Structure 1
Amino acid sequence: MSIIGARSLVKALTDLDVEVTFGLPGTHTLPVWEALADSGIRVIGVRHERAAAHAADGYARVTGALGVALVTTGPGAVNTLSALGEAQASASPVLVVATDVPSTLRTPGMVRGSLHEVGDQRALFEPLTKAAFTVAHPDEIVSVVRYAAETALRPQSGPVYVGIPADFLGEPVLDGLEPDGVSTSSLEQHPPLASEDVDRARGMLMAAQRPLIWVGGGALRSGAGEAIGILAERLAAPIVTTFAARGIVPPDHPCLASNPVHAPEVGALWDEADVVLAIGTDFDGAMTQNWCMPQPPTLIAINVDAEDAAKNYPPDLLLLGDARQVVEELSLGILPKPGLDELTRRLDDIEVQVRRRVRKEEPHAAEFLSALKETLPEGSVLISDMCVAGYWIGGFYRVSGPRQLVCPTGWGMAGFGFPASLGVGAAGAVRAVCVTGDGGFLTGCGELATAIQQELPITVVIVNDRGYGMLRHDQTNSGFGHYGVDLATPDFVGLAKSFGVYADRVDGFGRAFRRLLREFSRSDEPNVLVVNAELRPPLTIPSRWYRRESLTW
């Protein structure tokens, strides 16, 4: 029995257990949308292709499943590129499926000028994806899509591009045929851990006087939180998390240093450590203050990627493999060490010191963070944009559990928050609560139409400082005048209501903000809360780093 290529694509997605896709139709992709109509896959139609990729990214981060964006040839495909840069930097398993010009109109080495034609569309995606493929024959659609999905999901996860010539979508293919092509058997398999390496790492940790566990996003994606919590308690070792790993252990865990390493009190834990166990991290510049943190005396790394593990802080010992599995094996035979109560008391003291500093230096930020924690419903997911309020959330918000905070910390992309929240809302979160600045929100405000049409459970909090507040701070800090950063902004409440989205505004983060945020975040419909406020950036931004040998961004 034969089916056409468009239906084989949809069948491949169904077989991969894809439940939701995000996209925008184009003249080349209409057969796909026709095939999706009766497929059982929910299609979230967005207003711009960048939003489709961001939404797929948000969906992937909160579920751990594949996020899928379907876009058309040329301009539609290219519009996803910036969003894929963020997905790549954050290791999000996103699959972008785009049409390409019909194979019958393509002449190798020549751009003939057919509709939406790009000389080499796949080449545009290669620098920003884990892998990029172009389907060479209609019969290969299923196998290539399956392989691409497995590539995206396999650690180190990341975005993958698949291009399909538009004419293939209408061509007959054999249903169930497994054509020759890429094979899943070629996916990399990690060799088993050498027992002597595990024993050596175990011995280093047991002999350590001041061990520290540094936890990155790879550990969160592997589901290693419980195992890390157990190991930390046995070692009486503080846990320091990167932005991408926030929420990996409960906020009341006795070993958790709940504030960012950019606070000197937390940074001292790193400086004092004689053995650091780094799990699922590459020690990027944003977390290490551009690598100004000293190399620890002994560094043990757990990572699925040897190059990633060693590119910034070379480890003395590398344990190559899945974070959860390696940590569980490493914990075997480690008996509880003394000092847990003393460590917990010190971490509590650090918490008091850092919170006191925040209240003194930026009381409005303290009020904002407290309001979020006290009013958002249990099970909600907080999505921040690249803005001053987002920096405060990324570093200082108390995250209740894994995958309950989504931040654009990989590439640092303004305009990520709102479209990513579409994916979070579509994933079934109790509530997706997006905190964005006015500048970032305006890059994708048309997606209000998506939110209302799809009835997504999203609350958008726009912190309106009438400009690019982060850049305004940087100009002031550099001795520059304010140029290009003060914006004419619309009536955001009126704008939202013009889309049929309920909205209101408040001044500051006081009682009125708490009351409305509690009300809005418990609604069944999308809504927008505008807060007229200006915040000073936190310690996590480059100009406020305390390790000041290099502040070159």
Structure 2
Amino acid sequence: MGRTGAQHLVSALGELGVDVAFGLPGVHNLPIWEALSSAGIRIIGVRHEQAAGFAADGYARATGRLGVAVVTTGPGAANTLGAVGEAMASASPVLVLATDIPSTLRRPGITRGVLHETSDQQAMFAPVTKAGFTVEHPDDLAGTVRRAARLALRPQSGPVYVGIPTDFLTAECLDRNDSEPTELLHTLDVEDLDRAREVLAAAERPLIWAGGGALRSGAGEAVGRLAETLAAPIITTFAARGIVPPDHPCRASNPVHTPEVGALWDEADVVLAVGTDFDGLMTQNWRMPQPPRLIAVNVDPADAAKNYPPDLLLLGDARQVVERLLTGLAARPGLDGLSRRLDEIEVRVRRRVRKEEPQAAEFLAALGETLPDDSVLVSDMCVAGYWVGGFYRIAAPRKLAYPMGWGTLGFGFPASLGVAAAAQGRAVCITGDGGFLYGVGELATAVQENLPITVVVVDDGGYGMLRYDQTRAGLPHRGVDLVTPDFVGLAKSFGVYADRVDGFGRAFRRLLREFTRADEPNVLVVSAELSPPLNTSPRWYRK
């Protein structure tokens, strides 16, 4: 007896190094579940398809490897769209494997009303994916999966959709692995490289701006060495947090949204932008002035030039380009003076935080004092998450998952499932009471899979960020003050240990230390109301 389409699909995943997938079973995709189990690939069953997408994204961010979401036809596939959009905006390599109605029931150009049928399921994913494929013949199934996965991982990485008519999964078929077309690689222009060295060497106040592309390429060490050579400060985007160690002498450890760090940008006469597109969130909607000279390192020329046009574009992988820039570049004086200035900026910013929002200062200090060194922080779209995303000292690459690609509320807890499954350290989710309720059913998943997750729910009785916006605008509170459940009782009803504290003081520290050293999932609820930090748009200082 020959092998089925589902077996070929799972073999292709094994060849790609996939060891875990996230999904929700449906009558159309059950053969994939059976094949995954037989092949020894762990399948983590979630309670909602959106959680499968978020979990695959969290896994990809924590590991740099392919995250896989397995969902069923029609509404099951559609439920993943919000999560896939976040993965697209954050360049997470996620493979969405979705079944479609049987090929035998499809008629070209006609929507017949088959159960779960859509007129064009792949088209739903077009705006939120890097590419999409629909398998046309059972023999093409494994080859399509390989091609889609490699495309998802190829810089600039991103999610890719594969639609599979459900009858192909049980059909006996061959593995027709058509060879992929050879990719045309960009050759770095030697003259441009020499010119970039000359510009950087002649700069009086160079600055390095490192983005997510730099982190994903593993460019941290090279960026750190280049910064020391140039005596240049390093400003990182949210996606690049942790790219250099906290004690690096050139690291500006706070966001560019603070005036103290923003001054480094304003003073720079040359900016080297590595793996970034200068999005609106990081630039305060492009209110930051165009630098006098801008050198961009990017794999995509359009991405590099769409916001701040570069004077010089170095096309290629961030790590390789920066390493080549270092060759023959003489060290400049001034490193000690730069380090002292960055230390002074750090002191001034921390003083500002303590003055403006002492609870936030206490919260950040508690995290720093209690979390295990290998923890991976997963922030949701909530005020506490914004403080973590902007101001917490991230110790290493891939130790923060922050949904500031698309800004997707409800990301935090389900993404933590993927982070925890990646076995890169305990997942510590920082979420609000509103965002947690988006995926609270995944507590069942955390228990069933015994995932090492600590969920910190900062409960301010509603949507605190929106409440702040309304108060600031002099408007009454509408839709933001919510009836919330007894989160401790709710968690315990799932079999999850939970407790509640008021504020971020001694009791919070004690319980957080205890919870993050447990073997099982747990929930810590904190009654507190924080004001938003400077990296949120209502508080941007550039006008």
Question: Please, what TM-score do these two structures have when normalized by structure 1?
Answer: 0.97
- 2 CA distance for matches of 1:480 and 1:522? 44
Give yes or no for the alignment of 1:184 onto 2:167: no
| Contact in 2 for aligned 1:244/1:407 (Cα 8 Å) | yes
Match of 1:368 among 340, 363, 371: 363
Deviations 1:33-65 (A, max 9, x none): 111122110010000000000000000000000
Could you say which residue in structure 2 is the equivalent of 1:519?
514
Secondary structure in structure 2 of the residue aligned to 1:38: helix
Could you say which residue in structure 1 is the equivalent of 2:8?
8
Shift of 1:184: 2.5
Could you tell me which amino acid in structure 1 is paired with residue 21 of structure 2?
A: T
Match of 1:421 among 416, 420, 424: 416
- 2 CA distance for matches of 1:422 and 1:179? 33
Shift of 1:430: 2.3
Shift of 1:153: 0.1
Shift of 1:178: 3.0
Could you tell me which amino acid in structure 2 is paired with residue 185 of structure 1?
A: P
Could you say which residue in structure 2 is the equivalent of 1:152?
152
- 2 CA distance for matches of 1:337 and 1:239? 16
| Contact in 1 for aligned 2:63/2:424 (Cα 8 Å) | no
- 1 CA distance for matches of 2:211 and 2:233? 14
Deviations 1:203-233 (A, max 9, x none): 0000000000000000000000000000000
- 2 CA distance for matches of 1:534 and 1:191? 50
Secondary structure in structure 1 of the residue aligned to 2:3: strand
| Contact in 2 for aligned 1:362/1:536 (Cα 8 Å) | yes
| Contact in 2 for aligned 1:448/1:501 (Cα 8 Å) | yes
- 1 CA distance for matches of 2:185 and 2:286? 29
Could you tell me which amino acid in structure 2 is paired with residue 400 of structure 1?
A: A
Shift of 1:128: 0.4
What percent of counterpart residues are identical?
74
- 2 CA distance for matches of 1:518 and 1:198? 49
Shift of 1:545: 0.6
Give runs of aligned pairs for residues 450-489 of structure 1, distance below 5 A: 450-489=445-484
Shift of 1:500: 0.3
Could you say which residue in structure 2 is the equivalent of 1:387?
382
- 2 CA distance for matches of 1:185 and 1:238? 41
Could you say which residue in structure 1 is the equivalent of 2:279?
284
Deviations 1:228-278 (A, max 9, x none): 000000000000000000000000100001010000011010000000000
Could you say which residue in structure 1 is the equivalent of 2:232?
237
- 1 CA distance for matches of 2:224 and 2:185? 25
Secondary structure in structure 2 of the residue aligned to 1:333: coil
Could you tell me which amino acid in structure 1 is paired with residue 377 of structure 2?
A: L
Secondary structure in structure 1 of the residue aligned to 2:156: coil
Give yes or no for the alignment of 1:57 onto 2:52: no
Match of 2:499 among 504, 507, 527: 504
Give yes or no for the alignment of 1:359 onto 2:327: no
| Contact in 2 for aligned 1:190/1:320 (Cα 8 Å) | no
Secondary structure in structure 2 of the residue aligned to 1:173: coil
Backbone CA RMSD of aligned residues:
0.8
- 2 CA distance for matches of 1:155 and 1:2? 36
Could you tell me which amino acid in structure 2 is paired with residue 136 of structure 1?
A: E
| Contact in 2 for aligned 1:276/1:296 (Cα 8 Å) | yes
Deviations 1:6-54 (A, max 9, x none): 1111111111110000000000011111111221100100000000000
Could you say which residue in structure 2 is the equivalent of 1:100?
100
Shift of 1:179: 4.3
- 2 CA distance for matches of 1:267 and 1:184? 45
Could you tell me which amino acid in structure 2 is paired with residue 43 of structure 1?
A: I
Question: Please, what TM-score do these two structures have when normalized by structure 2?
Answer: 0.99
Give yes or no for the alignment of 1:433 onto 2:428: yes
Secondary structure in structure 1 of the residue aligned to 2:12: helix
Could you tell me which amino acid in structure 2 is paired with residue 301 of structure 1?
A: A
- 1 CA distance for matches of 2:504 and 2:160? 41
Q: Which runs of 5+ in 2 are unaligned?
A: none
Could you tell me which amino acid in structure 2 is paired with residue 530 of structure 1?
A: V
Could you say which residue in structure 2 is the equivalent of 1:551?
none
| Contact in 1 for aligned 2:151/2:157 (Cα 8 Å) | yes
Deviations 1:154-192 (A, max 9, x none): 000000000000010111112xx3344xx4224x43222
Could you say which residue in structure 2 is the equivalent of 1:36?
36
Deviations 1:381-440 (A, max 9, x none): 000000000100010000000000110010001100000000000000321000000000
Q: Which runs of 5+ in 1 are unaligned?
A: 549-553
Could you tell me which amino acid in structure 2 is paired with residue 508 of structure 1?
A: G
Could you say which residue in structure 1 is the equivalent of 2:74?
74
Could you say which residue in structure 2 is the equivalent of 1:317?
312
Could you say which residue in structure 2 is the equivalent of 1:228?
223
- 2 CA distance for matches of 1:61 and 1:465? 29
